[in-house]
Structure 1
């Protein structure tokens, strides 16, 4: 679990967001270490708890709230040979040129080379004559 700050209007349990990096005003903010210093650019986060602590912020209509976040499970297409529930694998994006499946081939929040744990097998998916497994994974941190 990670502690960070989000805009007061966004501070709701269950909300997911992708952190793209600090905005210009964040670089000189006294709260930057707690706010953006705990997050990795390009990763997806899910708010699990909102604390009753708020701070002023020039970006978020004046206030941010302290929240607890986790990296949520993400759905992705994988090679069927690696789709074993409970296994930890090094992520390799599959070759599926179908633009409708792009969010399942390279979902935001995961990078090729990440170590992920397969939590669940959801479905069989075909793309360009090849079969893949749609799985739900969570990133394993070193």
Structure 2
């Protein structure tokens, strides 16, 4: 579990977001270490708890709230031979140029080479005549 700050309007349990990096005002903010110091650019986070603490912020319409976040499970396509529930694999994105499946081929929050644990096999997906497995994974922190 990670403690961070999010805009008051976004501070709702269950909300997922991708952290893209600090804004210009963050560089001189006294809360930057807590707010953005705990987050990794390009990763997806899910708010699990909103605390009743707020702070002023020039980016988020005046206020941010303290929240607890986790990295959620993310759906991704993998080669069928790697789709074994409970196994850990080094993520290698499949080759497919179907723009409608882009979020499953290269989902935000995961990077090629991440070590992930397959927590669930959801089903089969065909892409450009090849069959892949749609799985739900959790990133393993190194």
Q: TM tier, shorter chain?
A: over 0.9
Gaps of 5+ in 1: none
**Partner residue in 1 for 2:31:** 31
Output the TM-score relative to the length of structure 2.
Answer: 0.99
**Partner residue in 2 for 1:66:** 66
**Partner residue in 1 for 2:43:** 43
Distance 1:2 1:78 in 2: 28
SS in 1 for 2:55: strand
Distance 1:105 1:94 in 2: 6
**Partner residue in 2 for 1:55:** 55
Task: Encode CA deviations 1:72-119: one digit per residue, 9 max, x unaligned.
Answer: 000000000000000000000001111111110000000000000000
**Cα RMSD between the aligned structures?**
0.5
Distance 2:102 2:54 in 1: 38
Distance 1:15 1:132 in 2: 28
Distance 1:19 1:71 in 2: 11
Distance 2:125 2:26 in 1: 42
Distance 1:83 1:101 in 2: 18
Q: Which runs of 4+ in 1 moved over 3 A?
A: none
Distance 1:112 1:30 in 2: 34
Distance 2:46 2:10 in 1: 11
Task: Encode CA deviations 1:7-53: one digit per residue, 9 max, x unaligned.
Answer: 01110000000000000000000000000000000000000000011
Distance 1:105 1:39 in 2: 23
**Partner residue in 2 for 1:83:** 83
